[in-house]
Amino acid sequence: MNISVKNIFSGLSKLRKGLGGFAKKQSGKRQNIQKYIPEPIKRHIEPKKARKTIGKRILTVLAIGLGAAGAIAAGLGTAEAVRKRLATKAVILVGSGGKKMLSGSAAGFNGYLLKYTDIDGLEDMIDTLAGNGFTELVIVPMTVVNGYETDMIKAIALNKSGFFEKISYAPALLTSNGDYEQIAKTLIHYAQDADEDTAVVYVGKGTTHHANASYIALNERLKQLGGANVFIGTASSYPDIDKVESDIEAAHYQNVVLCPLEMTVDDELNESIAGEENSWYSRLSGDGYNCGCYMKGLCAYKDVRKLVVEHTKSVM
């Protein structure tokens, strides 16, 4: 099917003439015209203007429909592709697991096109969106704390700010006091089915950035909310494995379940937690604990996904 702009307007011209003839035939038959007008319109136009109004509305609807059909025929493929082509605002999730994180949540971002990339591909994606006429971006870091990665994401986007009317940044998972409380309650909820003599330990990557204090703050919030059997540790910073094992021993736990405290689990974190050598699992098992691992990232938790959506909407 080959639909050109010339063909579209030629068809509209013929349709306009046809409607004109219809209007002439109906002159003097105002009651017949009235029946074609929806009640809300009748209340706001004079009967004499009815024929003209109907013709304009029909032409407008057909023009939109034919324009979309022409766009699809031109190679965009689907109605969804046309919607994407017309979008001028985008939400970019930066980090692995983005699609899983906001799966089924796109309806809440009316008017925004959802895009996904890792930090290495962020600059190219921003350039592409700028070239396609986008005017507004919302950048969403898939990070637990506001550390070096979040700083880098903002720096990349800031360097491109001149190409957009507005760039907004959603905060990391742990930012406000409310975030700490909600995540603490979520971790306690998922640990509540553990046996009384089982400690549930969430291990993040850790960082030398001052944002590492977020892990310590979360651990404190857990204890305030009654999560006595839930502990927070980091693979490369503090609280380290020595601190966590000391706390577990002091509380007389015999069993330990290790879980990642990151949005998704990469190979490095997987080896740090569950590897056969030089890992939290091998260390605690070697020290006599019955140790197991549940290697699902925070993306798997419904309440975490909900919080990310709330963070995103808050900066739109």
Q: What is the CATH number for 160?
A: 3.40.50.1400
DSSP-assigned states of every residue in 98-155 = HHHHTTT-GGGSTTEEEEEE-GGGHHHHHHHHHHTT--EEEEEE--SSSSHHHHHHHH
Residues of the chain whose pLDDT is less than 70? 1-86, 97-108
Domain span at residue 33? Answer: 5-82
Residue 167 tokens read as 């760039």
pLDDT at 112: 92
- As for how many domains the chain has, the answer is 3
Final residue of a structural domain among 29, 50, 82: 82
Kindly state the DSSP code that residue 291 receives in the 8-state scheme: E
Query: Which residue carries 């693979």 as its tokens?
Result: 235
Measured CA angle at 91 (ends 269, 150), to 5 deg: 40
pLDDT at 69: 44
pLDDT at 111: 86
| CB-count exposure of residue 263 (10 Å: 0-12, 13-18, 19+) | buried
pLDDT at 190: 92
pLDDT at 246: 98
Question: Is there a single domain that holds both residue 210 and residue 285?
Answer: yes
136 phi and psi, to 5 degrees?
Answer: -140, 135
Question: Is there a single domain that holds both residue 296 and residue 202?
Answer: yes
CA–CA separation, 94 vs 201, rounded Å?
A: 27
pLDDT at 20: 53
